[in-house]
Structure formats: structure tokens, C-alpha cells
Amino acid sequence: MVKAAVTQITSTNDVAHNLKISEFVVRGAANEGAKVIFLPEAADFITNDAHECFLLSPPISKHDYTIGLQALAKELSVTLCVGIHDTPEATEDNSDGPGSERVFNSQVVIGPDGSILDVYRKIHLFDVALTGGASSAGPNGDAPVSNGSVTAGPPKKGGESSRIRPGMRINTPVQTEIGKIGLEICYDIRFPELHTVLTRLGAQIISIPAAFTLKTGKDHWYTLCRALAIQYQVYLVASAQAGAHNPTRSSWGESVVFSPWGVELARLKSIDEELGPIETRPKYGEVGSEMKGAWAVVEIDLEGEVDGARKQIPLAIQKRKDVYGVVGETA
């Protein structure tokens, strides 16, 4: 068995600060023996300003936050899975055309030698219309949360897609010290087709860095994570943003790890648990309004847990493709 760690932090629009708190949780997890460490979505920054989002999102080869983590991964000899923002390299196709300020919402896998093992670009963008406690956009979207409430109505034009460009492919699971990791990001968790394809491609662990809103975090997050682990017979590692990023944007937190049987192996605190309900919570900038960076270390047992669950309940060979087909059969 090999140890892995789930983490949570509170990113702001200060990239240097975010790198510092990321280093804090990575070092803490590595000191406890974790060989693969998972960081949240948008770990490099969270901002409400579209132009600032673009300015803080260089190509990965010039990305100060990622470069800092590459050096850290090499120093500690650990693998890191982390959510960042980036723009296309000069050699990549720029499908948005010249002048676009939309950026990618990516999950980057950094190997223990500091090299980039893979980059997944978020496929499903958070364009929704929530009422009574959440934004209609993602971690850098158009309608920031204000003390947990938002005006009712349809999503603003584009929602997250107004500043995030969607990814166009499902990545083959990445081989790491703890097994084959399938890559997703946040809102992807609601799309079973993606989980189906990743497990067909060999995923034993699914990594979902996230920045869930207060409403969807409280109502859906834990259930979605546990259900995914059970239904797809994988370890589910979900590192989440937690706390207030600025005066008008907060994330739920509650980073979790589940076994393929649905057993909770680790759970970090939600914003409500650490800071209290919204009615009594200290306002942004007040004493006691910050959540501390946190981590939890677990052991990954592929043979005992993944293989064991799949042998007991052999879903893969029981699919009735003669009746309904199989999503991603040719992936």
C-alpha cells in the first residue's frame, strides 16, 4: 500500500501567497509519508475580475505557480495533482482565435522528478442558475457569491464559459505510485459519461479538484463524491477550496477521500464546520474569518479495495451493451 493525501486551501488573487500555502500543505502531507498529493481546483488563484484572470494565466511553461510546484515535487520526490488556470502554449491550437481572454481550467499532474506528466482541461463548464446560496459561475465566474446568496434568475450569458474555454478531450488515466488516476475537475462530477469512459480506460482512482459553491457544497458535494466511488468502483479523491477568497466569493470545502466500497477514508472541514453558519460567521478580513490550510493522509490498496469491489460486484462484465450500448466503447 502507498500513502496519498487530500488537501484544502483558500486561494486568493495573490499567486505568490497561494504558492506559499500550497507548499505548506504539500510539505505537511509529505512529512506524513504521502507519495501522491492532491490540491484543489484553481489553486493558483481565484479572482472575480475577468481581465485579471487572463493576466494571471500564462502558458504552463511560464506559469510561476506551476513552476514552483515542479521544484517542490522534485525536492520532496512526490507526485502532485493540482488545479490551475493557463492559456495555450505557442505550439498549441488557439481555437478561440486572437484577442480572446478566455483561459483553460486545468488539472496538472507533476511527477516526482518535477516533470509535467499530463494536463487535463475541464470539459464541463459551470453555467447554471442557482437560487438561495450560490453563484451562477465557477471559481472565477461572472456572479460572485455575496454572503451565501444570489439574485434568482437564469445564468448570466456564458456563466463560467464567459471566461473559461472548455477542454475537448478525455485524458487517458495517468500511471502513478498509487495507481492509474483519471482526471476530472469540479462540475465534471455531475456527468456520468466521463466517469464511465475513464474507468473503461483503466482508472483506479479519480481525482476531482473542486471549488464548490456554498449551496451545492452543502446540498450535493458529499453525496456526489461517495456515489461516484461506489458506482464506478474507484478511489475518489476530491480536494476542495475552502473559505472566503475575497469579500464576495467563498467555497464550501469538505475535501474527501472514499474507497471503492464507499467508505469514508478522510474528510476535512467545511466552511460551516470551521467558521460557523453564514448568519454568525466572521466577515471577510475580520479576526477568525480565515480557514487554515489542511491535509489528510490515507493508504491506497488497489488489490484489496479496487480489485476486491470489482470482483464482488462485476459491473464491467454485466453491462448490457446489446440493449443500450456502452458510453465511450471506442474511447
Of 3, 35, 122, 218, which residue is the catalytic one? 122
Kindly give, in sequence order, each residue whose CB lies less than 8 Å from that of residue 66, ignoring residues fewer than 6 positions away: 44, 60, 82, 84, 86, 108, 110, 116
Our measurement of the distance from residue 63's CA atom to the centroid of its chain's CA atoms, rounded to an integer in Å, reads 18
41 is catalytic: yes
Catalytic residue among 41, 160, 184, 305: 41
Concerning whether 122 is annotated as a catalytic residue, the answer is yes
Q: Is 186 a catalytic residue?
A: yes
Set 81, 160, 180, 186: catalytic member: 186
Q: Where in the sequence numbering do the catalytic residues fall?
A: 41, 122, 186
